[in-house]
Structure 1
Amino acid sequence: RPAGAEFLPLSRSLVNIGQTFPPVAVLALAVPAVGFGEKPTRIALFRYRLLPIFENALTALPPLPGNVMEAARGAGMTGWQRLMKVELPLSAPVILGGIRLSVVIGLATATIGSTVAAKTLGEVIIAGLISNNLAFVLQGG
């Protein structure tokens, strides 16, 4: 949006910097702050899953055809109405692609939560590694 354009480089940099830290490192930093269990896992997964949604939303919104936006303005829509009734519906496939990618990333990395006592499939993997049981490792994977 034009009103927040000056914040785009800063927000993009913050999200990209957040993506450079591996989820295990975020877990290690979150455990002293919030303790063991699900909370540090949720923090790590939220931070790790944010980039695909953020980038796809930024990619989807600006390149809408000018004639579509002009038609919406000509119909008397306010900026909020244009966003909700024109821009978001036309951008939805790309934004949903980012959400889909985010879900896959979350499922793939959720197993690390078991290292901080969260109930995940990582428990089965860790049990298999400890007992040298390949079936458990494969089942968790």
Structure 2
Amino acid sequence: MKRWPALVLLAAMLAFLLRPALFVPLLAPLAPEGAPVIYDRAGLLSLTLAHLALVAGAMVPATLVAVALGIFVRRPAGEAFLPLSRVVTGFGQTFPPVAVLALTVPVLGFGTWPTLLALFLYGLLPVFENTLAAFSALPPSVVEAARGTGMTPRQRLWQVELPLALPLILDGVRTATVISLSTATIGSVVAARGLGEVIIAGLTSQNLAFVAQGGVLVAVLAILLAQGFALLSARLR
């Protein structure tokens, strides 16, 4: 797998975040006459880090919950809960994140928490379904061999089943993370810090330079994260 395109994107993104003034000639044609070219109401680097923290803050618990639930319903004691689990994990996909924000802001207030909840709910289904697929695809001969050596169910899970299932589970985490990364931009409508702030500022002021900055940064982050997960999954395989 070629890595140089991702390295070039990473270098260009870091150059823009650390020295945005270098890109003024490129973005100037998109800005209205007399308007600022580079978003200056907050540092682009700090907004990017806040955006990544928002996604991580939602995806880590969503992954833990979805994987644990997927493992539980693949056990004999939890098989009866599979339909209910699909309903619960699919809830976030049924209701758009904007609707979740509208419903939770009166309870949680403006800021980070409504966005975290929306991203958490939105990230459950891809990880859950991939966990189910990963454990369904385990080679029966390997599982039986582990059972035949006298391993306890806990030992089989941690030493055999989970390592074999991990690459496919990571594919689900990658999908959910990329979706959350783009969806997190809407959090700025409820005052959550992130790159959506740059995009919304550009739309309200009709400054396409701002829109381009926020949109391209989110796109580059999505590409880099997807590439990183793909490399990790390939290495585990």
Q: Which interval holds the TM-score relative to the shorter structure?
A: over 0.9
Aligned partner of 1:110: which letter?
A
Whether 1:86 and 2:160 are equivalent positions in the alignment is yes
Does the Cα contact within 8 Å between 2:91 and 2:121 map onto a contact in 1? no
Q: Which residue of the other structure, out of 116, 129, 132, is the alignment partner of 2:203?
A: 129
Unaligned runs of 5+ in 1: none
CA distance in 2, matches of 1:97, 1:120: 25
What corresponds to 1:6 in structure 2? Answer: 80
What corresponds to 1:25 in structure 2? Answer: 99
What corresponds to 2:222 in structure 1? Answer: none
Unaligned runs of 5+ in 2: 1-74, 216-237
Q: Which residue of the other structure, out of 38, 41, 59, is the alignment partner of 2:115?
A: 41
Aligned residue pairs total 141
Q: Normalized against structure 2, the TM-score is what? A: 0.58
Pairwise CA distance, 1:17 = 3.2
CA distance in 2, matches of 1:13, 1:110: 23
Does the Cα contact within 8 Å between 2:111 and 2:192 map onto a contact in 1? yes
Q: Where does 1:89-128 land on structure 2 (aligned, <5 Å)?
A: 89-128=163-202
CA distance in 1, matches of 2:198, 2:114: 19
What is the DSSP-based 3-state SS (H/G/I as helix, E as strand, rest coil) of the residue aligned with 2:151? Answer: coil
Runs of 4+ in 1 over 6 A off after TM superposition: none
CA distance in 2, matches of 1:127, 1:17: 31
Q: CA RMSD in A?
A: 0.9
Does the Cα contact within 8 Å between 2:112 and 2:192 map onto a contact in 1? yes
Does the Cα contact within 8 Å between 2:130 and 2:171 map onto a contact in 1? yes
Q: Normalized against structure 1, the TM-score is what? A: 0.96
Whether 1:71 and 2:142 are equivalent positions in the alignment is no
